[in-house]
Amino acid sequence: MRGLINYFSGMFNGIISLLKGMGVTGKYFFTSPVTIVTQQYPENRKTLEMFDAFKGEVTMPHDENNEHKCTACSICQINCPNGSIEIVSRDVVNDEGKKRKELDKHLYNIGMCSFCGLCIKTCPSNALAWGQEFEHSMFTRDKFVKTLNNEGSKLMQKKGVE
């Protein structure tokens, strides 16, 4: 007898849950088109705007002088759990005889990236940011590797230092 009661109470709870879900669906079905948030992708590809918190891909912002903030410290490479970042740098001696690293290439393999954001969070110079690009389908895997720093870019000089 107890099993029969559990069976019918489970079925009753399932029907109540189904009706609640259908109520939410029905509310959106019969509301005005102004409140509908469904995007008509890919037809609206040119006018599509993503949310600010969207994690599309890791980017390295450059200013109008083709300068970036990356100091080639490799902290993003160390903290990446998947190894999707590789920093290629060289040692440069300045006028005072001090050695420092200079960025050659900041390689980012989007095919290996888990979009965890550790590279962006741990970057001490805030050189990395989330981009809005989300279409990443490729025919070969080698196209997943991107160079984040632009060709001929250099380290942004601190203000007040000449």
Cα–Cα distance measured from residue 146 to residue 113, given in angstroms and rounded to the nearest whole number = 12
φ, ψ at 102 (rounded to 5°): -130, 135
Structure tokens at 67: 């300068």
Rg (CA), the chain: 25
- The half-sphere exposure of 29 on its side-chain side, counting CA atoms within 13 A, is 6
Predicted pLDDT at 27? 83
- List per-block mean pLDDT (blocks of 10 residues) for the chain, which spans 162 residues: 88 94 85 70 82 86 93 94 93 85 92 93 94 86 91 80 46
Contact indicator for 39, 50 with CB cutoff of 8 Å: no
Q: pLDDT by residue (tens digit) across 136-152?
A: 888 888 889 999 999 98
Q: Which residue has the tokens 């196209």?
A: 143
